[in-house]
Amino acid sequence: MNGSPGNQQVEQQLMLIGGDWVAARSGETLTVENPGRRQIIATVPRGSAIDVDLAVDRALAAFSSWRKTAPRERGRLLLSIASEIEAQHERLSRKIAEETGNALRTQARPEVKIAADIFRYFGGLASELKGETLPLSHDLLSFTQREPLGVVAAVIPWNAPFLLAAVKIAPALCAGNTMVMKTAEDAPLAVLALAKICAQFLPPGTLNMLSGTGLECGAPLLNHPLVAKLSFTGSTAVGRIVMEAAAKRILPVSLELGGKSPSIVFPDADDDWVIEGVVAAMRFTRQSQSCTAGSRLFIHRKLYDSVLEKLVEATSRLKVGDPLAEESDVGAIINERQFRKVCGYIEDGMKQSGSKLLTGGMPGDDASLAGGYYLKPTIFSQGTNDWRLAREEIFGPVLVAIPWDDEDEVIKMANDSHFGLAAYVWTHDIGKALRTARDIEAGWVQINQGGGQLPGHSYGGYKQSGLGREFSLAAMLDSFTQTKNVTINLTR
């Protein structure tokens, strides 16, 4: 990804520091590829520690006045950003599809829409940054107030970059913090475009947007002595490193990490909408490059064969192809490294004793798909929960279907994972549904639906899927403010 691609059509992007659009101090760049066509489409600055220093300096300078800006006014600016995102909806959606390989119609357009909703949601909540009065005694007035933390260092991945940037920027800024964010190497363009929109409305330095690699730009940002909070979305492996950086300085940290989420079909759930829901939960239309993909499918033995038959039929109707084409339901895997990694899991599944490949598999000889990193939705049946494919996060379109007989047994299998991000439950039986939701070890459980997060959901992981919450008012207060108690003796 380094160096110059030597292609005249390639757009050259800059980073946002202190209201200015700048190159990396080193002058170096990274290239960005369209994974659906394997073409280089842009260069971005290869930011490093010296750029991080400047960005944190500018964010700190902006903090002193941004924190004093009336919350209602901060909210008003976020609402203006929401309207501008909506005005640029199609342009931004195309950018996302181009750089991530996510299909324009099924993924990129909805992603931009929900990101605008996120800015609107938090913009409307600015006046809710309030504290409490505490009845300690007749002669004591005691109250709490919510205060911003300072400069938030934020690092995001590539799989839904625009939305993942929005769920950090909007609440952090609403609460009066300023921010330095590092975009993901593979998908910085739409987030830089978001920064451009934000910069139209926000005072310089309030939001700074860097591009660069994890080691050269992300690590110095997370270890910078003047940042007051770390907010990270990405893999559990890097999440551990982020937590170590936080531990060194006792910093508050939010981690949104990996998942291996169960999707549990009960014996009464013999409906077509369940099949649609399982497909949605597995995020097949995002090549399953989703932390919340319901990638362990537990089907009651009574329905096992019929559900799988319908599921194979439903996934075979999904059209895999160029992310920018209107007819594509499923786009391309983000890059060659990830493509090879997912192929490795498919090979492993094919070698697994007892496994049965029902659909998909290794890339075939379809000439129309030869130009990009395309894989078809892949389903293995007769799985067990101890398969490597059922334990590790594949982050690709590989589903393992596991039969079950007994409710306690399926809950035990569902919880037998070091992850605990999401879970999906499919049944008409309210008792079973609510018992399962109660007993499942996951931060986000959906019953009879498989869609994504909505503004207002309290979203985040149990176990090694993360720490802290995003998407909600409670999350904004917990993740991006600190509480001060003031107690006054009224007799003095």
At 281, list the tokens. 């939960």
Min separation Cβ 254 and ligand NAD, Å = 10
Min separation Cβ 143 and ligand NAD, Å = 34
**Residue at 477: amino acid letter:** L
Min separation Cβ 311 and ligand NAD, Å = 23
Our answer to whether residue 343 is catalytic in this structure is no
Catalytic: which of 256, 343, 393, 470? 256
Q: By three-state DSSP, how is residue 46 classified? A: coil
Closest to ligand NAD by CB, 155 or 358:
155
Min separation Cβ 393 and ligand NAD, Å = 5
Asked if residue 66 lies in contact with residue 229, where contact means CB atoms within 8 angstroms, the answer is: no
At 88, list the tokens. 């640029």
Helix crossing, 189-201 with 71-87: angle to 10°?
130
Q: Which of 183, 261, 194, 258 is nearest to 221 (CA)?
A: 183
The secondary structure of 401-465 as a DSSP string is EEEE--HHHHHHHHH-SSEESEEEEE-S-HHHHHHHHHH---SEEEES------TT--B--EETT
Contacts of 420 (CB under 8 A, 6+ apart): 259, 441, 442, 443, 461, 462, 463, 464, 465
Closest to ligand NAD by CB, 184 or 369:
184
Min separation Cβ 228 and ligand NAD, Å = 17
Catalytic: which of 174, 198, 217, 291? 291
Give the DSSP H or E segment for 481: strand 481-489
Closest to ligand NAD by CB, 383 or 466:
466
Contacts of 302 (CB under 8 A, 6+ apart): 267
* Residues found near ligand NAD in the complex (CB under 6 A): 155-159, 164, 182, 184-185, 213-215, 218-219, 222, 233-235, 238, 241, 256-259, 291, 393, 395, 421, 461, 466
Min separation Cβ 292 and ligand NAD, Å = 7
Closest to ligand NAD by CB, 157 or 397:
157
At 371, list the tokens. 């130009």
Our answer to whether residue 132 is catalytic in this structure is no
The secondary structure of 56-91 as a DSSP string is HHHHHHHHHHHTTS-HHHHHHHHHHHHHHHHHTHHH
Min separation Cβ 466 and ligand NAD, Å = 5
Give the CA angle between residues 253, 259, 263 to the nearest 5°: 140
Asked if residue 304 lies in contact with residue 278, where contact means CB atoms within 8 angstroms, the answer is: no
Beta bridge partners of 264: 298, 425
Q: By three-state DSSP, how is residue 139 classified? A: coil
Closest to ligand NAD by CB, 80 or 213:
213
Closest to ligand NAD by CB, 83 or 235:
235
Closest to ligand NAD by CB, 170 or 238:
238
Closest to ligand NAD by CB, 70 or 215:
215
Asked if residue 306 lies in contact with residue 271, where contact means CB atoms within 8 angstroms, the answer is: no
At 402, list the tokens. 């596991």
User: 95 vs 106, 114, 193, 298, CA distance in Å?
Assistant: 14, 16, 9, 36
Min separation Cβ 76 and ligand NAD, Å = 28
Min separation Cβ 276 and ligand NAD, Å = 23
As a whole number of angstroms, the distance between CA 315 and CA 230 comes to 39
N- to C-terminal Cα distance for the chain? 67
Closest to ligand NAD by CB, 265 or 476:
476
The secondary structure of 189-226 as a DSSP string is HHHHHHHHHHHHHSPTTSEEEE---IIIIIHHHHT-TT
Which positions are catalytic?
256, 291
